[in-house]
Amino acid sequence: MLYTEAMELSTVQQIILSILASALALFLVLSIIAVIMVIQFIKKLRLIADRAEKVIQSAETVGTIFKNAATPVGAFHFIQKVVDMAINHKKK
């Protein structure tokens, strides 16, 4: 069918067009909200990973301190490390 005149939408077509436009707008808003939530979730995961890495590093440091404390010279070294950690903790 070729239309030479401007096409006019019937009432049913206008209703369908309104419903589809509303659904598209709703989908767009929901998609934006979902993307924002995913980005926030990824940031929280990074924060948790960073904290876990710090805990692992501190655990390794404690393990090293106790390993060095097993020797007689290590006992003095252990005390020195504890004092250093206390001083560094107060600075933070």
- Number of Cβ within 10 Å of residue 89's Cβ equals 8
Instruction: State the DSSP string of 12-25.
Output: HHHHHHHHHHHHHH
Q: Is the pLDDT of residue 23 over 90?
A: yes
Length of the chain: 92
pTM confidence score: 0.52
Q: Mean pLDDT across the chain, nearest whole number?
A: 82
The answer as to whether 78 is a domain residue is: yes
The answer as to whether 7 is a domain residue is: no
The answer as to whether 4 is a domain residue is: no
At 92, is the pLDDT very low, low, confident or very high (cuts 50, 70, 90)? Answer: low
How many domains in the chain? Answer: 1
CA 83, CA 63: separation in Å to the nearest integer?
Answer: 17
Q: Is the pLDDT of residue 85 over 70?
A: yes
The answer as to whether 3 is a domain residue is: no
The answer as to whether 61 is a domain residue is: yes
The answer as to whether 5 is a domain residue is: no
